[in-house]
Structure 1
Amino acid sequence: MKTSKISKEIPRKVEPQIKINRKKTPKEITNRIQEIEYVDPATGESDSLDITFSNADKSFILGKTSPKKGDKISARLYLFNWQYLEEKIDLYLGSFTLDDVSISGRPLIAKYSALSIPSKTSFKNTPRSKTWKSTTLKAVGRSIAKRYGLEFVYDSGAVIKIKSIKQSSQNDCEFLYALAKKYGQGMKVYCGKIIIYSKAKYEAKKSLVTYKETDLISWSFNDSIYKTYTGAKMKYTNAKSNKTYTASVGGGSRILHINEKADSKADARLQAIAKLNEENETATTMEIEVKPNPKLIATGTLTITDMGQVNGKYFINKITHTINRNGYTMKLEIRKIQKRIKK
C-alpha cells in the first residue's frame, strides 16, 4: 500500500532471496553474500547471474549439498521503501543454470556463476549439423525450444521464409541467435523461454522513463559516422544456377557491401536490410549509471531530454545490476534509435 513519499531519513533497503534447486537459502547464508551481479542483455547472449559469498558456512560451501554445476538457481530482490514508506517491490531476476563454481580460502570465498540456459547443456555445448528445408524462422525456433522443454515466444509480425539453411557444427543456441540476427530479429533466453522479437517493434514501444542530465549519476556519449551507411549492395549466388546476382537497398553515397548466401533476390534484400540497420544501430551510444529503477529492462526504451544533441529516444541494450555492501547500482548500455531503412 502506498503511503507518504519516502524521506531522506528512511533508507532504502535491498534483500536478496536465492533458491537453489527450488530450496530457499537460509537467511544466515544470504547474509554472507558479498556481491550479486545480474546482467540483462537485449540480444546475442544469455542473462547471467554471479553470486559471491564471503566467510560463508563451510557446510554450505564444501558440504555434500553444496551448489554444483548444473544446479538450478533462481534469484529475486526485495526492495523496501523504494518510492514510498512501507513499500515492498518484488523484483524477480530469473531462473538460471549454475555454470561455473570458484572457491578459495582463507577467508572462505565462493563465487557461483549461472546462465539463463536450460539445464540440458547440449543447448549451448553440443555441435549439431542439419539442413533445414522449406521452413520459417518461427518454425526453427519452435523446434529448438521444444527439444529443450522451453516455452517459445515469437513476438514479430514478420513471416520469414527459409528455403534452405545449413546448421554446420553449431550448437542450437549459437545457430538460432545467428539466424535471428541474419533477418534483423532479436533473441533472448530468459526464465525458461526463448523469445524472438522484432527490433523495430520493440523500438517503437513507449519509453519506460525520461531522464535529464541531473538524473544521471554518471554518463558518457558517443556519436560517430564511422560504419554507418545509407544503403547496401549484397552479392549472392543462386545455388541452382551457380550464378551471382546483386540486390540493392537504400541509396546514397555510403554503401555497405555484403557477400552472403541467399535463396532468392527477395531473401537477399531481406538480409541486406537487416545487416544495414544492424550496422547503423551503433551510430549513437551512451553508457549511463542511474538510481536503480525496477521498471527498466533490456529491450525497453527510455528518453533523454534537456541534453542538447544527446536528446532522443534510446533502446536499452544491456543492464548490469550490482548489489554489494556499498549499495545497489544500475548501469545501462543504450543506443539512440535510428530511422530504419525498409527498402
Structure 2
Amino acid sequence: MQARRAHLELVYENVDITADLQPHLANWSYTDNLSGQADDLQITLEDREQLWAGDWMPEKGAKVTAKIIRENWEEDGKTDELALGQFELDEIEVGNPPSAVTIKGTSIPESSSLRGENKNKAWEKTNLSVIAGDIAGGASLELFYDTEDDPEYDRIEQTEEYDLAFLQRLCNDAGLALKVSDSQIVIFDEAKYEQQEPIDTIIRGQVRITGYSGRTTLTGMYSSCRVDYHDAEQKESIKYEFTPDNPPKTGRVLVVNERVKSVAEAERLAKKKLRDANKDGTTFSLTLVGEIKYLAGLTVNLVGWGKFDGKYIITQAGHGQQSGYETKLELRKCLEGY
C-alpha cells in the first residue's frame, strides 16, 4: 500500500514554484467563506538560510494561484485535486525563533479600488445587478449574479463609501449574500443554496472525526416578521406578517419599516429579514481528516449526532496541513419554509 500524501501546488505570477517551496514548507492553510468575508491563503516557511526573508521574498500585490493535490488518498495510484483560486499577496511576516516567514494572500485584491477609497456616485432607474456590474468592472473583476432577485431603485446613492462596503450594504438590505473569490464578485441567495441536494452524509462513527462541537440558541431569534410601511405621498399603508412552520419558541416579532411597493414585495422582504435573523439558530463545527469535496455553499447531512441531526450548509471550509492534512467545517442548519 502506497503512503497517503497531500501537498500544496503554488503558481506565483504564472511561474510554478511548488518545488522551491517543498523543502521549506512548515504549514499552510486555506479558508473558504460562504459570504461577508474574504477567502484567504496562508503559508509558513522555515527560513534558517534567510532566503525567503531575502532574495526570495515575494512581492506584495503579486498574484498566486493554488491547488491542493492528494496522492493515494482514496486508492493507490490515484491523484485528485482541489483548485483554490487566485489570491493577491497582501502581508508578509518574519520571525525567530524558529526562523520563519509567513506569507498571506486574500481573495479581495488590495490593488483594486474595492476597499480603501471612499467614492460618491448615484444611479437612477436601475437594478442591483447593474450596480454590481459597474463596481465589478471598475475593479477588473467578473460578476457572477446567481439569483433571480434583482431589486429595482428609482435612485440610489453611494456617499463617501468604499465600493465593497456600499455593495455589501445593498445586498444586506436585499437579503442577498456577497463574496469576492477567484477574481469574481459573487452575489447569491443563501436560501437557494440551502435547497441544493447534500453532497455527503457525515455519519458519526463512520467518518474520521478528530473534533466537533454544536450549539443551538434562542438568542436573537424571532417567531415572525412584520413589514409595516406607510407611504406618505401615496397615502397608502402596506402590511404583511410572515410566520414560518415550526417557528422558534420565542414571542419576539421582528418589525421592519422599509419601503415596499406591494404585498408580494412585503412578503419577500419579511421572509428574507426573518431568515437573516434566525439563520444561526443551530450551528455545528467538525474537524476531520483532509477531504477536498467540502466547500462553502455546499450542503451536507449529519446523522448520528442526536438532536443535531439534519441538513446543514457549509458556511466555512478550512483546509490545511501542519502534521497532516485536515479539513475544518463550520456548518449552519438549513432553514425550511423561508
1:230 aligns with 2:227: no
Matched ranges for 1:1-343 at <5 A: 10-25=2-17, 27-55=19-47, 57-63=49-55, 66-105=57-96, 107-118=98-109, 120-214=111-205, 215=207, 216-234=209-227, 241=233, 247-251=239-243, 253-259=251-257, 261-262=258-259, 264=261, 270-324=268-322, 326-341=323-338
- CA 1:340 to 1:279, structure 2 compared with 1: closer, same or farther past 3 Å? farther
Tell me, what secondary structure is at the counterpart of 2:170?
helix
The one-character-per-residue Cα deviations of 1:87-137 (angstroms, maximum 9, x if unpaired) are 111211111011111122454311111111235332122121223322111
Q: Report the Cα distance in structure 1 between the residues aligned to 2:273 and 2:177, rounded to whole angstroms.
A: 13
Q: Report the Cα distance in structure 1 between the residues aligned to 2:37 and 2:280, rounded to whole angstroms.
A: 17
More displaced, 18-27 or 295-304? 18-27
In structure 2, runs of 5+ residues without a counterpart are none
Residues 72 and 119 in structure 1, CA contact (< 8 A), matched pair in contact too: no
Q: Report the Cα distance in structure 2 between the residues aligned to 1:193 and 1:330, rounded to whole angstroms.
A: 24
Tell me, what secondary structure is at the counterpart of 2:284?
strand
- CA 1:185 to 1:340, structure 2 compared with 1: closer, same or farther past 3 Å? farther
Q: CA deviation at 1:151?
A: 1.4
Q: Report the Cα distance in structure 1 between the residues aligned to 2:271 and 2:320, rounded to whole angstroms.
A: 37
More displaced, 121-130 or 53-62? 53-62
Taking only the aligned residue pairs, the percentage that are identical comes to 25
Q: CA deviation at 1:263?
A: 5.8
Q: CA deviation at 1:50?
A: 1.0
Q: Report the Cα distance in structure 2 between the residues aligned to 1:154 and 1:200, rounded to whole angstroms.
A: 15
More displaced, 37-46 or 139-148? 139-148
Q: CA deviation at 1:265?
A: 5.4
In structure 1, runs of 5+ residues without a counterpart are 1-8
Q: Report the Cα distance in structure 2 between the residues aligned to 1:195 and 1:217, rounded to whole angstroms.
A: 33
- CA 1:218 to 1:106, structure 2 compared with 1: closer, same or farther past 3 Å? closer
2:291 is aligned with what amino acid? N
The one-character-per-residue Cα deviations of 1:170-208 (angstroms, maximum 9, x if unpaired) are 211222222222212222211111111121211111111
1:178 is aligned with what amino acid? R
Residues 18 and 30 in structure 1, CA contact (< 8 A), matched pair in contact too: no
1:302 is aligned with what amino acid? V
- CA 1:26 to 1:155, structure 2 compared with 1: closer, same or farther past 3 Å? closer
- CA 1:340 to 1:139, structure 2 compared with 1: closer, same or farther past 3 Å? farther
Tell me, what secondary structure is at the counterpart of 2:53?
helix
- CA 1:271 to 1:129, structure 2 compared with 1: closer, same or farther past 3 Å? farther
2:38 is aligned with what amino acid? S
Q: Report the Cα distance in structure 2 between the residues aligned to 1:31 and 1:14, rounded to whole angstroms.
A: 14
Tell me, what secondary structure is at the counterpart of 1:122?
coil
Residues 101 and 111 in structure 1, CA contact (< 8 A), matched pair in contact too: yes
Q: Report the Cα distance in structure 2 between the residues aligned to 1:33 and 1:217, rounded to whole angstroms.
A: 24
- CA 1:265 to 1:322, structure 2 compared with 1: closer, same or farther past 3 Å? same
- CA 1:237 to 1:166, structure 2 compared with 1: closer, same or farther past 3 Å? farther
Which residue number corresponds to residue 5 of structure 1? none
Q: Report the Cα distance in structure 1 between the residues aligned to 2:98 and 2:309, rounded to whole angstroms.
A: 48
The one-character-per-residue Cα deviations of 1:276-309 (angstroms, maximum 9, x if unpaired) are 1111111111011122221111000000113331
Tell me, what secondary structure is at the counterpart of 2:61?
coil
2:252 is aligned with what amino acid? R
Residues 164 and 263 in structure 1, CA contact (< 8 A), matched pair in contact too: no
Q: CA deviation at 1:160?
A: 2.0
TM-score normalised to structure 2 length? 0.89
Tell me, what secondary structure is at the counterpart of 2:134?
helix
- CA 1:340 to 1:160, structure 2 compared with 1: closer, same or farther past 3 Å? farther
